[in-house]
Amino acid sequence: MPAPEVHHLFHHPIADHSFSADRQTLAVARDNNVELYGKSGSNFSLQDELKGHDKTVTGVDIAPETGRIVTYRNAYVWEPSPTGWKPTLVLLRINRAATFVRWSPSERKFAVGSGARVIAICYFEEENDWWVSKHLKKPIRSTITTVAWHPNSVLLAAGSTDSHARVFSSFIKGVDARPEASVWGERLPFNTVCGEYLNNSAGWVHGCAFSPSGNALAFTAHDSSVTIVYPSGPDQDPKAVVSISTQLLPFLSLVWNGEDEIIAAGYDCEAYRLQGNERGWQIVGSMESKGRPGMGAAREESALNMFRQMDLKGKAKDDTQLKTVHQNTIATIRIYDEAGGAIRKFSTSGVDGRVAIWST
**Cβ proximity of 330 and 252 under 8 Å:** yes
Domains of the chain: 5-289+301-359 (2.130.10.10)
Is residue 310 scored above 90 in pLDDT?
Answer: no
The helix (H) or strand (E) run that includes residue 297 is: helix 297-300
Residues 6+ apart with CB under 8 A from 164: 196, 197, 198, 199, 205
Is residue 91 scored above 70 in pLDDT?
Answer: yes
Average pLDDT over residues 157-175: 97
The full length of the chain comes to 360
Q: Say what the alpha-carbon torsion angle 188, 191, 196, 201 is, to the nearest 10 degrees.
A: 160
Average pLDDT over residues 126-145: 93
pLDDT reported for residue 295: 35
pLDDT reported for residue 294: 37
Average pLDDT over residues 331-350: 96
pLDDT category of residue 319 using cuts at 50, 70 and 90: low
Is residue 182 scored above 60 in pLDDT?
Answer: yes
